[in-house]
Structure 1
Amino acid sequence: MKKISFPLVLLFLLLGCKTNKKVVLQQLIESDFTIAFGSCNKSNVNNLLWDDVLATDPDVWIWGGDIIYADTDDMQKLRAMYLDQDRVEEYALLKSKVPVIGTWDDHDYGLNDGGVEFKEKKASQQEFLDFMDVPKDSPRRSREGVYASHDYTTSEGSIKVLVLDTRFFRTALTPDRETSKRNKPNSYGEGTVLGTAQWAWLQEGLNSSRADFNIIVSSIQFLSNEHGFECWGNFPHEIDHLKNLIVSSRAKGVVVLSGDRHISEFSKTKVDGLSYPLIDFTSSGLTHVYASFSGEPNPFRVGEVVSKKSFGLLDFDFSKKKVLFKMIGDDGELLGELEQNY
């Protein structure tokens, strides 16, 4: 049975007069399953979107990275910042009602633009797993990297979420000394984003999946590759590797979710051998954004870049094999939308 999502209306009925936020009514949406996700969040500034997230009645919340901005090798400082986020009242309310999963990015990893070289990555991993309430006896506690697989099954269909770790194993970037860009692509074949063990895990996860949709969560952008900041485009052979893996696995309805950039955008491309276009939905950020954004190249962009605080929403229709992608801002403002059949 499809659930009826009452964006914002439901929340304000629950909260009554506890808030003076403007209620923006949206059209009722039928959805078999709803994913909400976002990235780039600071606990010490106003977390203004959690009531809006709750109002969409998601089945799961996915952190896309940069949950906190610690940038530290001091684990006490890192732990304190995670605890501060857990104490944010409306986030705590969301966490009590909705399953929370996700990955980290550089600022909660502990080193800006950091990768395999970060010396405290193993200790940082344990702090992240604590924040994500991963049991102490979980195999994830003894495995390097925070990557994980989550399966969701309903009477209408199923979804597999494959959460990647683009930090623990990622080799060095190549600074761009010739242009104003920060980085340039490594030589083809040089370096890795995921590392050998994680690639093998991802291949097995896609090959064995019988889910109607397969969601890959990457903290950094997969398709947008010309801006010079961190992205898969700095490792072009790794992009080809993932595309080939998706095709050969025959996994259904693969979608990439990403963050990091302090802007939100839809990217889309045709992949040879794939019967549907590959979409990379970037949602960033939750508490702070690139408000002065004036443009950057992205040959795969669909629609306009959004530089307002927002989170991402995916509404799934299993019978129609359709996903409605939405960027949602404060007061439930619809900032961007994309519909795709699979």
Structure 2
Amino acid sequence: MRVIFVALCVAILCCGCKTAKTSIYPLQGDDFVIAFGSCNKQDEENVLWDDVLLNKPSVWIWGGDNIYSDTDDFRQMRKDYEEQRYQDGYKAIVKSMDVIGTWDDHDYGLGDGGVDWEMKEKAQELFLNFMNVPKYDPRRKQEGVYSSKTYKTKAGDVKVILLDTRYFRSPLTKNLGDSGKRYMPNPAGVGTILGNKQWQWLTNELTNSTAAFNIIVSSIQVLSNKHGFEAWGNFPSEVEKLFKLIKTSNAKRVILLSGDRHISEFSEINISDLAYPIIDFTSSGLTHTYEAYSGEENPYRVGEVVKVKSFGLLKLNMKNYHVKMEMRGDGNKVLNQLEQGY
């Protein structure tokens, strides 16, 4: 009887090990495919969901402004999220791929909102509910929605790091001049975007990463810094801190994704002592864009700006460490693309 009991215990333990097995995500050939986008009004038709599905990505990343709900009314924001959740096109996305993301100001509840927003705790609860985050997840107890997820493939790992550029962000400096720009950079060393705790977390995430690619998602642009709207450029010291961290962490193949602007563009910068350029791939927006766009300064821009509805697509080649980045529009049309080898 004792032998039978021991054998039964071993069998149970083995079954438990099987259920805890880490998922291996599929490749398309040698490519791990990620789609992402931002600026999505829940009360307007999203004509791009079927195009996203055609590319069969393993992951969809929300880049912020996943709904537009500038309100301090908890019930209204919950209603806005539910309107988005139950759209047929989006339901197909959730069924077909992993969905992760961060927020920006309009799903935070306050246009250009930051650390002082009084509803941020309640807004975080609703965001996590929309993202189907389990009740036991650490994000349910932490301040801010930042998180990371590592996708394992047969050829290596891809790590996605989702930043929260709202919960801790210091007040912006308004531009009182007549340049037409809304904000101007804070003095050096004044203010923060991520806050101390999130900076510590990000340092650990990058320093300890063994992934072949590290994708950092920021709801606001990191490189483009001359347009006078929200951007990392309003906090110059934070930009320097991020670049220094990327270099010293030795994390492999860091790529930046951003949204917010209602235009899509590629920006690129070479950092000293880093073997590859840092690319900021901005994809915005999904349901509406800055159709009246006629140009703005961006010293880091590569190629042309796209001002029609689009989503971003990344094809990460896990064999040759090559990345193909595409802006795709309605009809799955390629509107712009950029390739980078590492």
User: Who is 2:323 aligned against?
Assistant: 323
Distance, in Å, in 2 between the alignment partners of 1:91 and 1:148 is 22
User: Who is 1:285 aligned against?
Assistant: 285
1:31 positional shift: 4.4
Letter in 2 for 1:49: L
1:297 positional shift: 0.2
Q: How many pairs does the alignment contain?
A: 317
1:3 positional shift: 4.2
Q: Is residue 36 from structure 1 mapped to residue 35 from structure 2 by the alignment?
A: yes
Identity of paired residues, percent?
Answer: 56
1:273 positional shift: 1.5
User: Who is 1:171 aligned against?
Assistant: 170
Structure-to-structure mapping, 1:1-342, within 5 angstroms: 3-4=27-28, 30-178=29-177, 179-342=179-342
1:32 positional shift: 2.2
Q: State whether residues 268 and 302 of structure 1, in contact with CA within 8 Å, keep that contact through their aligned partners in structure 2.
A: yes
SS at match of 1:58: coil
Gaps of 5+ in 2: 1-24
TM-score, length basis structure 2 = 0.91
The higher radius of gyration belongs to: 2
1:46 positional shift: 1.1
Distance, in Å, in 2 between the alignment partners of 1:132 and 1:256 is 21
Q: For 1:239-275, what per-residue CA distance to the aligned partner results, in whole angstroms no more than 9, with x for missing partners?
A: 0000000000010000000000000000001011211
Distance, in Å, in 2 between the alignment partners of 1:330 and 1:96 is 21
Q: State whether residues 284 and 309 of structure 2, in contact with CA within 8 Å, keep that contact through their aligned partners in structure 1.
A: yes
Q: State whether residues 315 and 323 of structure 2, in contact with CA within 8 Å, keep that contact through their aligned partners in structure 1.
A: yes
Gaps of 5+ in 1: 5-29
1:95 positional shift: 0.4
Distance, in Å, in 1 between the alignment partners of 2:105 and 2:307 is 21
Q: For 1:289-336, what per-residue CA distance to the aligned partner results, in whole angstroms no more than 9, with x for missing partners?
A: 001100000000000000000000000111111100000000001000
Distance, in Å, in 2 between the alignment partners of 1:115 and 1:2 is 38
Q: State whether residues 289 and 309 of structure 2, in contact with CA within 8 Å, keep that contact through their aligned partners in structure 1.
A: yes
Q: For 1:173-217, what per-residue CA distance to the aligned partner results, in whole angstroms no more than 9, with x for missing partners?
A: 001112221000000000000000000000000000000000000
Distance, in Å, in 1 between the alignment partners of 2:67 and 2:234 is 25
Q: For 1:52-97, what per-residue CA distance to the aligned partner results, in whole angstroms no more than 9, with x for missing partners?
A: 0011100100000000100011111111111000111011011011
The 3 A distance-change label for structure 1 pair 100 and 245 is: same
Distance, in Å, in 2 between the alignment partners of 1:155 and 1:93 is 26
Distance, in Å, in 1 between the alignment partners of 2:30 and 2:267 is 23
1:139 positional shift: 1.3
Letter in 1 for 2:162: V
